[in-house]
């Protein structure tokens, strides 16, 4: 069985909720997403996301929890 290596370039993107994803480098970004700055093969981008995205909760939820604690 022959497996093809994915040699495309990717970029790490992030949305306003501070959620990360990998996006093909040659495609336009979807609305609501912007480049984070990291580019490379898929594995490199995923490894970067694994290092920096330590809290998977959306930003709005994290901020709501902080407000709840401050008001409590």
Continuous segment of H or E residues that includes residue 46: helix 42-52
Q: What percent of the chain has pLDDT over 70?
A: 94
pTM to 2 decimal places = 0.78
Helix (H, G, I), strand (E, B) or coil at 12: strand
Are 33 and 10 spatial neighbours (Cβ–Cβ below 8 Å)?
A: no
CATH architecture of 10-71: Alpha-Beta Complex (3.90)
Query: Which pLDDT band holds residue 58 (cuts at 50, 70, 90)?
Result: confident
Q: Where are the domains of the chain?
A: 10-71
pLDDT for 45 equals 98
Are 37 and 13 spatial neighbours (Cβ–Cβ below 8 Å)?
A: no
Per-residue pLDDT reduced to its tens digit, 23-42: 999 999 999 999 999 999 99
């Amino acid at each position: 069985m022959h497996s093809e290596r994915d040699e495309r370039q990717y970029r790490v993107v992030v949305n306003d909720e501070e959620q990360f994803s990998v996006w093909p480098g040659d495609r336009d970004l979807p609305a609501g997403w912007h480049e984070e700055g990291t580019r490379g093969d898929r594995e490199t981008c995923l490894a970067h996301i694994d290092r920096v995205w330590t809290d998977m909760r959306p930003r709005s939820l994290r901020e709501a929890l902080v407000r709840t604690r401050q008001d409590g």
